[in-house]
Structure 1
Amino acid sequence: MRYLLLILASISLIVVSSCRKEFNTVPNFGELEFSKDTVFLDTIFSNISSTTYTLKVYNRANKAITIPEIKLKNGNTSKYRLNVDGLSGKHFTDIDILANDSIYIFVENTVDYNSISTPLYTDKLLFDNGNKQQKVPLVTLIQDAHFIFPSKNNSDFKTLTIDGKNTKIACRFLTEDELTFTDKKPYVIYGYATVPSDKTLTINAGTNIYFHKNSGLIIDKKARLKINGTFDKKVTFQGDKLAHRYRKTPGQWGSIWIRKGSFGNNINHAIIKNGTVGVLVDNIGQKNSPTLLIKNTEIYNNSYYGILGRNTHIEAENLVIGNAGKASLACISGGNYNFTHSTFANYWNNSMRQKPTVFIRNYNSFTDDNQTVKTITEDLVKANFINCIIEGNNNTELIFDKKEDGVFNYRIENSLIRGASNNALNFNDTDHFKNILLNGNPHFKDVDQNDFRIGENSEAINKAKKTSIFNDILNISRKTTPDIGAYQHITFKKDE
């Protein structure tokens, strides 16, 4: 027994010894350096956790140091959460930093808007104490919002199919008092908010809608969407990650899905960005009523498509669709399409893009439950592009894919198109093309920033056909000398 105790004591001594520091430190001398003077956590919504932010703390001395204390000024009542060198908490003691080395501090927070007196929530990180104490402010703007969550008592499941991929999605039907969105507070949607049959969702000017991951908006059979933005107060749809680094990240949310059986939908003065498919439109609609009328709208940075139309009827004017992982505009399974004074420009650089900026076909192929590939041909009643720019970073940015057993009508006039010389399209075919500027220079302002305004060197200037659309997307008159695309040309300022 004595020998056993001796062995255990020896093992304990070895373990304790192995846990001791293998270096000597001196007390912190108040000369820490920080990667940021202030940690600004971007705007967050009430009761929703922020993104994780990083602060790096440097010891520039030639000796290892010990920081006696790192804490939040507001202590345990602080809404901020810390992780210091791998340890979670709000108060830390005896934190070592090797000579000419550094440690990481990770910062998050969650704040209830109703628990604070001002939307600007602040605290301070305190390093050491007394006359050696150093401080780093923490700052977050908290925004109140309407939250729409899935509900067990008022929900359904639907299957969303895009390019043969089926996704089961949870839908929550909007109640009667949720069918008007206003600009008083933003809306944050989890899951798919669904407009019930025979109901209309009206979204007033200036409203901001934020979608969580795998979330979106569904307009169900016989339901309608009315987006009533104005030039000065646009309606915005985007993901709910508000940090600056997510401002152009695609695929943060799902889609605005207009389902089969819905018609008479209107979108005016909207910005739709950073989703998977900006707007997905099914159903041919009624004879004299398009499924979707979309005007003065910008759609950017979608991981699949800006607009995907499937055997549907879309009328568009002053429409801008920018970068998308597959195509800015895809119209498949036939349909009826009119695009006037619209700009389609795809300079996607996040991955290899296989499709052109604009892609039109009169059929759809899919794999059935028996893993058999089937093709259904539908009539392309018409696909008209008048005064449009179709541009991008591929050699050919307009492709028509036709099955001979279906109707395929199209007409393109007074448009600037990016196309290779060996493209299958015959731009000299006057039955389908008129006044085409092939590979002309649109002179966009800044494609990296989705700024597709055209400058004074653009070949699109004064080349448009006169129409009844007298103002461009920026409300600039084009009545006398219209330019091709959604924008009238401007003179770029050197400091812009």
Structure 2
Amino acid sequence: MKYVYGLALLGCLIFWSSCRNDFESVPSTGNLEFSKDTVYLDTVFTNIGSSTYNLKVYNRSDEDINIPSVRLGTGESSYYRLNVDGVPGKIFENVQIMAKDSIFIFIETTADINDFPADESRFLYTDQILFDSGANQQEVELVTLVQDAVFLFPEDLGNGMFETLNLGQDGDGNDILIEGFFLDDTELTFTNEKPYVIYGFAAVGPGKTLNVQPGARVHFHADSGILVANTGSIKANGLPSSDPELLENEIIFEGDRLEPDFSDIPGQWFTIWLTAGSTNNEFSYTTIKNSVVGILMDSNDGDETLTLKNVQIYNSANVGLLARTGNVYGENMVINNAGQSALACSIGGTYTFNHCTFANYWTGSFRSFPAVTLDNIIDETTGMDLTATFNNCIVYGN
């Protein structure tokens, strides 16, 4: 008999729940609340998609509500894209929010600077998310700065293949290839008129010099960098800036993610690679940040093949300055925070640092390397000459 009572009770519950309409709602009365009244999507490069930003929409009432429409102000022609409670689009109808509940709206944008007024290298693009219409309409503003840029990238060879650089052969006689390209003569001067965005490795050919002018901004996509070939040079000489925050005359090398959340994330791009035989490389009033290795200097044993004055290297995933059999002069330089050492001079070489700071407070993971590493070791029985002079320098870390 108890089973009969149990079945009867279950039947009553099913009957009661079937009579309840969970989706019965009342129209929105324009009393929605939002996590922010303006969504700033920060700066994006032309034709490069932004990160995804979110907006939370709250129903604080005791009733389930129905929003007749949620749409972008310029409709389907908008450069913004929405995802409303899991559904992508630009115009939505009958969006429901349960009582005392909320929904997420995710926002992205991709814009082409050529679609904006002529001769504009930076353009502030705005739109709105409109909730309902008429007297009940509410708005959330959308704002992003679209930035034109000079894009440098390897040639697309088709079938998923791209132009490569040959770094020599491995121990088995196989070619060592990396995705990259040689800069032609028209590309060997980086100005401050537009930022540069590099995909793959931009290489400076033998006997060529890449000149980076004061105020230039150079951005790298993931796993990208600059490579200076044998007898090639890079000269990145900025100037002092009147505003220490704007750094308008300083040269900056960093990743291509411009959102504030990425401003101090290490490892966003690879390195500035001064390969064996590159010569007369100069950096002054320059900041290098958020790379895997800030500067990688390979087997340069000539006369001062790398000069660094008023240079800052920050947030390197591995090493700030890694020199192997190098010849380096540094003055008024700061190398701060690296996953291994801020400065690593290996396999001998000649190094002079005046009034420099090497401070490593890396907190991303446990760091077992010292802030500064020096060695002259080739193998267990062989070494190279090593001369390292530090005048009035600070070496410190956690």
Q: Do both share a fold (TM > 0.5)?
A: yes
* Consecutive unaligned residues in structure 2, runs of 5 or more: 1-16, 158-162, 171-175, 242-248
- 2:88 corresponds to: 88
Counterparts of residues 207-356 of structure 1 (less than 5 Å) = 207-232=216-241, 233-286=249-302, 289-356=303-370
**Residue identity matched to 1:260:** A
- 1:200 aligned onto 2:200: no
1:147 to 126, 151, 174: 151
**Residue identity matched to 1:212:** H
**Residue identity matched to 2:251:** V
- 1:112 corresponds to: 112
* Consecutive unaligned residues in structure 1, runs of 5 or more: 1-16, 162-166, 365-373, 394-496
- 1:465 corresponds to: none
Q: Deviations over 1:435-476 (max 9, x none)?
A: xxxxxxxxxxxxxxxxxxxxxxxxxxxxxxxxxxxxxxxxxx
- 1:24 corresponds to: 24
Q: Deviations over 1:367-405 (max 9, x none)?
A: xxxxxxx65743142011111000111xxxxxxxxxxxx
**Residue identity matched to 2:228:** I
Q: Which has the higher contact order (CA 8 A, sep 6+)?
A: 2
**TM-score using structure 2 length:** 0.87
Mapped partners of 1:86, 1:95: distance in 2: 11
Distance 1:387 1:186, change over 3 A: same
Is the 1:333–1:377 contact (alpha carbons within 8 Å) kept by the matching residues of 2? Answer: no
Mapped partners of 1:259, 1:303: distance in 2: 20
Q: Deviations over 1:35-58 (max 9, x none)?
A: 111000111111111111111111
Mapped partners of 2:31, 2:234: distance in 1: 59
Distance 1:72 1:375, change over 3 A: farther
Mapped partners of 1:182, 1:261: distance in 2: 26
Paired residue secondary structure (1:362): coil
- 1:328 deviates by 0.5
- 1:125 corresponds to: 129
- 1:136 deviates by 0.4
**Residue identity matched to 1:382:** T
Distance 1:160 1:384, change over 3 A: farther
Paired residue secondary structure (1:177): helix
Paired residue secondary structure (1:323): strand
Is the 1:221–1:261 contact (alpha carbons within 8 Å) kept by the matching residues of 2? Answer: yes
Mapped partners of 2:151, 2:310: distance in 1: 28
Q: Deviations over 1:402-421 (max 9, x none)?
A: xxxxxxxxxxxxxxxxxxxx
Paired residue secondary structure (1:138): strand
Is the 2:319–2:343 contact (alpha carbons within 8 Å) kept by the matching residues of 1? Answer: yes
Mapped partners of 2:80, 2:127: distance in 1: 8
Identity %: 47
Paired residue secondary structure (2:347): strand
Paired residue secondary structure (2:337): coil
Q: Deviations over 1:328-382 (max 9, x none)?
A: 0011111111111101111111111110111111125xxxxxxxxx657431420
- 1:135 aligned onto 2:145: no
Mapped partners of 1:309, 1:318: distance in 2: 18
Is the 1:284–1:336 contact (alpha carbons within 8 Å) kept by the matching residues of 2? Answer: no
- 1:458 corresponds to: none
- 2:372 corresponds to: 358
Is the 1:158–1:171 contact (alpha carbons within 8 Å) kept by the matching residues of 2? Answer: no
Is the 1:146–1:187 contact (alpha carbons within 8 Å) kept by the matching residues of 2? Answer: yes
- 1:382 aligned onto 2:382: no
- 1:404 corresponds to: none
Paired residue secondary structure (2:48): coil
Mapped partners of 1:24, 1:96: distance in 2: 10
